[in-house]
Amino acid sequence: MRSRGAAVALTAAVTAFVWGLLRAESQSAIAALLALAVAAGFVLLKTRWLDPLAGAALANERFAQGLAVASVAALALVLRDDDFALLLVTRVLIVIVACLGLNVQFGYAGVVNFAGASFFGVGGYTAAVLARATGLPHVLILLAGGVTAALTGTVLLLPILRTRGHYAALITIAFALLFRTFLEVNDALGGPQGLKLGEMRIGPIRFNDPVGIGPFEGSFYLKYVAVALILLALAFALVLRLERSWIGLALDAVRIDEIAAASFGLDVARWKIAAFTIGNFVIGVAGALSAFMIGFIAPNNYTFAESLIFVSVLLLGGIGNPWGLSLAAAIVILVPEKLQVIQEYRFLMFATLVVLVLLFRPVGLLPRPLRRLVERSP
Amino acid sequence: MTAPLLSCRGLTRRFGGVLALDGLDLDVEPGSVLGLIGPNGSGKTTFFNVLTGLFPANAGESRFAGQPITSWRPQAVYRIGIARTFQRSRMCLPLSIFDNLMVGNHLHLDHGLWFNLVRRRALRRQVEECYQAARDLLRIFDPPLADRMMEPASRIPMIDRRRVEVCRALISRPKLLLLDEPSAGMTHEETLRLMDDILQVQQQLGGLTIILIEHEMSVIERVTRRCVVLNYGRKIAEGTYSEVSGDPQVRQAYLGLE
C-alpha cells in the first residue's frame, strides 16, 4: 500500500513536471526544467534506482497502467484550453502508437523498418482519400488506414525475406524515398501541396467543435486526446499480449537465431511476415488518426527523416519495451518543440542522444524485461 | 535384422570444388546409439546439416522410417521427428531457460492469433502444462536447474546450457536425436555426466535413437555400440569402437602415415 502511495506521488510529480514544461513560455524556464529532468535522470541511473523502479512498476502492471492513463487524462483536463499543448500531447500519444507497431517488427521479429513514416503516411493518405471521396464512418476509415498500410507492406515482403541486416535496411530506406517521390508526382494525391481532410466525426461527436459539457469548456483537441488515448490503450494491450504469448516467443526465436529457429520447426518467413504486417497495421492506424487531427497532409510530413525519429525512439527507449519507448517518444517529441533553440538542430540532438545511449546504456532507458508468459510467473 | 530407422544412400554435398560429403551410406537401427567420428572437416556436421535440411543434398537420398526425406525443409524434417543440437551453442541467450525449452516445443503449441491474444485463460493453462513438462524433463538432468527456469539463459554455466539444449531437442519427443559434439566447451567429467543423463532419458522415453558426433573417444567407447568413421566426406570404417579403433585406415586418418 505504501509503495502504491509512493507510485501515485511519483506519477503526480512527473505529470506536474510535464504540465510545467508544456505551459512554460520563456526559453530560460524551459531550459531550467529540462536541466532538472536530466539531473533527475542522471541521479536515477547513478544510484541504480531506475531498474528496481521499473521492476516494481512491472510487478503491479495493472496499477501502473491505470496511473499512466489517469496522468494523461489529468494533464489534458488541466491544459483544457491550451490548443498547442494539447496538440503536442496528442502527437506524443500517436507517435507512441506508431512506435509500438515498429516495435513488433524491429523489437520482436528483428525485421528492420526504416520506412515507418511511409507506412504512417499510407495510413494518413488513405484517411484523406476515403474521407473526401466516401461517406464511410470515420472509425472504419481509421481501420482502413491500418489495412492499407499492411497491404502496402506486402510489396516489400519478398525483398525483405531475401535479405538480412544492412541490406534489408537499405530496401526499406529505398521504399521511404520512393514513397515520398510517388506522393510528390501524383496529382490525384495532391502532389507536393498535399490534401486537406474534412472534420472528423465519430457518431454524433464532431471533432472540430470545442468541448462544452455543462460549465466545463475546453479545446476541441481534448477529443483527439481521448481518441488517441483509447487507441494507445488498445495498441498497448495488443503488443503486451502479443509479447506474452507463444507468438511473441516465436518472433523472439526468429530474431535471435534464424537457423536454430528453422531447425526447431519454426517457419521463419511466416513469422517475419506476421510481425511486419501487424506492425504496419498499427502504424497505419496511427497515421490515419494523425492525418485527421492535423487536418492537412503533404509529402513533407512523411520523409525518411521522420522514419529515423521513429527508429531513434525505439533505440532510446529500450528495444522491445513498450514503456521505454513511451518515455522516449515523449522526450523526442516534446523537447525540440519546446526548446526552440534546438529546433533547427533537432536531428543533431537525436543523433547525439542515440550515440550517448548506445555508449552508456546500450539497452536503452528502460531495457526489456524477461518474458512472463502468464501474468504471475508460475 | 529390424528395418533401419534412418537409411542414407550415396548422400553427397559439394561446396564449390570440395566434396564435403561423398556418397555416404549409413543405416541406423531404431533404439541404438550410433557414434559418428572422424578428423576435423571430415563431413560429420555437414551430414547433420544435409540430413536436417539446412543444406540440400547434391545427390543421394535419405529415408526416415521408410519415408524419403531428402532435401526436405528443416521445419518438415523436425516435424517428422528428427531433432538436433548444435556444435556451437545456439541458445537464445536473452530469453529465459523456459523460453528456450519452449522454442523446441514449437510444434505442440497453439500459435493462433485468437488463441494467443484473446483466450488468455486457455493460453495460461497451456503455459502451465508446458511448464510442468519442461520441469519434469529438466529434473532428470539436474534438479536445481529445474527450479531456475525463469532465469535468463545467459546466466547459467556451459554444462547447464548444454543440458538445456539437449532438453530443447528432447521436449518435442523426437524419434531420432542428433547430438553434435555435446562435449565442446565442457570438461571430461561433465561430458560423461551429460551422456549418462542422456542415456537415462533414452531408456525412459523408450525407443529414442541417437547419432552422436564426438571427439572424446572415451565417450564414444562408453555409450555407442556401433561407430561410423568419416574422412574427407567418405565412410572409411564401420563397426564397434574396438573394431574401428584398430582399423589401419582409421589410424592413418587420425595420425597420418605411420
**Cell numbers placing A214:** 455543462
Domain that holds residue B182: 6-255
Local structure of B91: helix, strand or coil = coil
Task: Identify the band that residue A377 occupies on the pLDDT scale cut at 50, 70 and 90.
Answer: very low
pLDDT on residue A128: 94
Is the CB of residue B39 less than 8 Å from the CB of residue B229? no
Task: Identify the band that residue B78 occupies on the pLDDT scale cut at 50, 70 and 90.
Answer: very high
Residue A377 in contact with partner chain B when CB distance is under 8 A: yes
Residue type, B88: R
Q: How far apart are CA A130 and CA A125, in angstroms?
A: 8
Among the listed residues B80, B82, B104, the one whose alpha carbon sits nearest the alpha carbon of residue B166: B104
> Quick check: A374 and B128 CB within 8 A?
yes
* Cα Rg, chain A, nearest whole Å: 21
Q: Other CB atoms closer than 10 Å to residue B178's CB: what's the count?
A: 25
Tell me: pLDDT of A110 over 50.
yes
Beta-sheet pairing, B33-37 with B209-213: parallel
Contacts with A259 from chain B: Cβ below 8 Å: 54, 90
Per the model's pLDDT, the better-predicted residue between A206 and B123 turns out to be: B123
Q: Region A231-243: what's the mean pLDDT?
A: 94
A79-360 CATH, one of 1.10.3470, 3.30.450, 1.20.20, 1.10.10 = 1.10.3470
Beta-sheet pairing, B59-64 with B33-37: unpaired
Give a yes or no: residue B171 inside a domain: yes
Residue A61 in contact with partner chain B when CB distance is under 8 A: no
Q: How far apart are CA A118 and CA A93, in angstroms?
A: 18
Tell me: pLDDT of A374 over 60.
yes
Among the listed residues B178, B186, B159, the one whose alpha carbon sits nearest the alpha carbon of residue B36: B178
B-interface mutation test, from A58, A234, A241, A246, most B Cβ less than 10 A away: A246
Q: How far apart are CA A369 and CA A359, in angstroms?
A: 20
Q: Region A286-296: what's the mean pLDDT?
A: 94
Q: How far apart are CA B138 and CA B149, in angstroms?
A: 9
> Quick check: A249 and B52 CB within 8 A?
no
- Say how many domains are in chain B: 1
Tell me the pTM.
0.90
Residue A118 burial (CB < 10 Å; 0-12/13-18/19+)?
buried
Task: Identify the band that residue A2 occupies on the pLDDT scale cut at 50, 70 and 90.
Answer: low
Give a yes or no: residue B1 inside a domain: no
Q: Region A93-111: what's the mean pLDDT?
A: 95
Residue A234 in contact with partner chain B when CB distance is under 8 A: no
A-interface mutation test, from B77, B103, B124, most A Cβ less than 10 A away: B103
Q: How far apart are CA B164 and CA A246, in angstroms?
A: 19
Give a yes or no: residue B15 inside a domain: yes
Q: Region B167-188: what's the mean pLDDT?
A: 88
Q: Region B70-79: what's the mean pLDDT?
A: 90
Cβ-nearest to B75 among A256, A267, A377: A267
CA angle B85, B86, B89 (to 5 degrees): 110
Chain-centre distance of CA A27, in angstroms?
27
- B227: CATH: 3.40.50.300
**Cell numbers placing B48:** 547433420
**Cell numbers placing A7:** 507510485
Complex-level ipTM beyond the 0.85 threshold: yes
Residue A240 in contact with partner chain B when CB distance is under 8 A: no
Beta-sheet pairing, B82-84 with B6-15: unpaired
Local structure of B67: helix, strand or coil = strand
Task: End-to-end CA distance of chain B: give it in Å, rounded.
Answer: 38
Min Cα–Cα distance to chain A from B176, Å: 13
Mark which residues 246-305 of A lie under 8 Å from B by CB: 246-247, 249-250, 252-253, 256-257, 259-267
Q: What is the 3-class SS of B181-237, one letter each residue?
A: CCCCCCCHHHHHHHHHHHHHHHHHHCCCEEEEECCCHHHHHHHCCEEEEEECCEEEE
Tell me the residues of B at the A interface, defined by beta carbons under 8 Å apart. 52, 54, 73-75, 78-79, 83-84, 86, 90, 92-96, 98-99, 102-104, 106-107, 109-111, 113, 116-117, 120, 123-124, 127-128, 131, 150, 152, 168, 172
Q: How far apart are CA B176 and CA B209, in angstroms?
A: 5
Give a yes or no: residue B57 inside a domain: yes
Residue A360 burial (CB < 10 Å; 0-12/13-18/19+)?
exposed
Q: Region A279-286: what's the mean pLDDT?
A: 97
Is the CB of residue A292 less than 8 Å from the CB of residue A123? no
Task: Give pLDDT tens digits for A49-58.
Answer: 877 888 888 8
